[in-house]
Amino acid sequence: MVAPVTSVGSPAADPKTKDETALSDVWGVIVLNDPVNLMSYVTMVLERVLRMSRSKAEEHMMEVHHKGRSLVWKGNREKAEGYVYQLQEWHLNAILERDEAD
């Protein structure tokens, strides 16, 4: 008689793996402060690349100025990578971070 096959260690049977996968789906685009770009330039880039209103872009720009960084967008990794690339093409200091909060 053959023993039944069990799924111990399979991703479906491991709730920890499922939670880690759900967390990995949310990524943040962070703009970091730099000593080069003018505040008006940063605002304009955020408006164009992320299609923000001027007031929202100014809020993020001021957060970057005062706190050194601002989470300007969060969502799936592929789109976040695209935004980071575009912001870097405009010479902003932008990075991608996994959002552990969601």
> Mind giving me the DSSP string for 71-86?
EEEEE-HHHHHHHHHH
Mean per-residue pLDDT for 6-33?
68
Domains identified in the chain, total number: 1
Position 90 in a domain = yes
Position 77 confidence tier, pLDDT thresholds 50, 70, 90:
very high
Q: Report d(CA 73, CA 31) in Å as an integer.
A: 10
Phi, psi (degrees; rounded to nearest 5) at 7 = -105, 40
Position 23 in a domain = no
CATH of the domain at 101: 3.30.1390.10
pLDDT score at 25: 80
